[in-house]
């Protein structure tokens, strides 16, 4: 039995192959420490004179209590926890079994002393320092325009 390929089949195969080569790879947005998972750390675009950037992310799959005690990134000189009734500083208790989301409306992470504007579509390295789990390397994505 002979197999013949029409020009249409060849063109479809070529387009399919080209589409897979040109498509960007999926960006990793889950980061695992020894006892928890951080999902999709993101922020908004910031202007050059922004005093801070709000970072949002989900923390879940917490198998042992820990504390977020530090944040290091080349795009900011410091960080603190922000939100309603939070003391200044960075000391976030993460209880075993607790799942929570740091978001713009409530509890969030605030990057202070921005060293550059954060640009749409860019990712910046960030290290989350936990008391027991140590350092977790994540990518901070700039996914949304600034709020108007």
Regarding pTM above 0.75, the answer is: yes
Closest CA to 117 of 52, 35, 33, 25: 52
All structural domains of the chain, each given as residue ranges with its CATH number in brackets, are 30-144 (2.60.40.1890)
How buried is 101 (Cβ within 10 angstroms: 0-12 exposed, 13-18 middle, 19+ buried)?
A: middle
Q: Which residue, among 91, 88, 37, has the nearest Cα to 69 in the 3D structure?
A: 91
pLDDT tens over the chain, length 148 residues: 555 667 665 556 555 555 444 444 444 599 999 999 999 999 999 999 999 999 999 999 999 999 999 999 999 999 999 887 777 788 999 999 999 899 999 999 999 999 999 999 999 999 999 999 999 999 999 998 988 6
DSSP strand E in the chain: where? 30-32, 37-44, 52-60, 66-72, 76-82, 92-94, 100-102, 108-114, 123-130, 134-144
Alpha helices for the chain (secondary structure H): 7-22
Contact 114, 50 (CB under 8 A): yes
Compute the distance between CA of residue 58 and CA of residue 133 in angstroms, rounded to an integer. 17
């Amino acid at each position: 039995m002979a197999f013949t390929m029409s020009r249409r089949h060849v063109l479809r195969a070529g387009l399919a192959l080209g589409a897979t080569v040109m498509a960007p790879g999926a960006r990793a947005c889950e980061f695992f420490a020894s006892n928890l998972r951080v999902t999709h750390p993101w922020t908004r675009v910031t202007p050059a004179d922004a005093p801070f950037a709000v970072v949002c992310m989900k923390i879940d799959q917490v198998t042992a209590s820990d504390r977020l005690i530090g944040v290091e990134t080349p795009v900011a000189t410091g960080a603190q926890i922000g939100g309603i009734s939070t003391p200044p500083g960075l000391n976030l208790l993460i209880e075993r079994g607790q799942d929570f989301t740091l978001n713009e409306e409530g509890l969030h992470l605030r990057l202070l002393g921005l060293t550059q504007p954060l640009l749409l579509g860019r990712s910046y390295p960030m290290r989350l320092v936990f008391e027991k789990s140590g350092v977790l390397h994540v990518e901070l994505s700039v996914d949304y325009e600034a709020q108007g």
